[in-house]
Amino acid sequence: MVDLVPVPSPGVPLYYGTPGDPLVIVLHDWHGRLPWLEGYANGLVHAGFRVAVPDLYGGWCATSEEQAAVLRSELEVAPSLAILDEIVQASRTEGSQKVGAVGSSMGGWLALQYAQRGEVDAVVAYYATLGPAEQGVIPNPVLLHFAETDQWDAGADPAAFVSRLKEDGTPVTEHNYIGTVHGFANASIPKVDTRAAALAFARTASFLQDHLG
Plot region of 41 (φ>0 → left; ψ -120 to 50 → alpha; else → beta): alpha
**What residues have CB less than 8 Å from 110, skipping those under 6 apart?**
27, 56, 77, 80, 81, 84, 103
Question: Cα–Cα distance between 62 and 189 in angstroms, integer?
Answer: 10
Return the pLDDT at 153: 87
CATH number corresponding to 5-212: 3.40.50.1820
For residue 154, what pLDDT is reported? Answer: 81
β-bridge partners, 177? 147
The angle formed by the CA atoms of residues 203, 49 and 168, to the nearest 5 degrees, is 55
The model's pTM: 0.96
Separation CA 79–CA 23 (nearest Å): 20
Whole-number pLDDT of residue 4: 84
What's 33's DSSP letter? Answer: S
pLDDT value at residue 3: 65
Q: What is the pLDDT of residue 71?
A: 94
* Confidence band, pLDDT 50/70/90 cuts, at residue 1: very low
In the chain, % helix, strand, coil (3-state, to 5) comes to: 35, 20, 40
Give the mean pLDDT of the chain: 95
DSSP H or E run through 6 = strand 5-6
Residue closest to 112 by CA, chosen among 165, 47, 76: 165
DSSP code of residue 102: E
Q: Look at residue 213 in the predicted model and tell me its pLDDT.
A: 87
Once rounded to an integer, what is the mean pLDDT over residues 175-179?
98
Q: What is the pLDDT averaged over residues 84-103?
A: 97
Q: Quick check: 92 pLDDT over 50?
A: yes
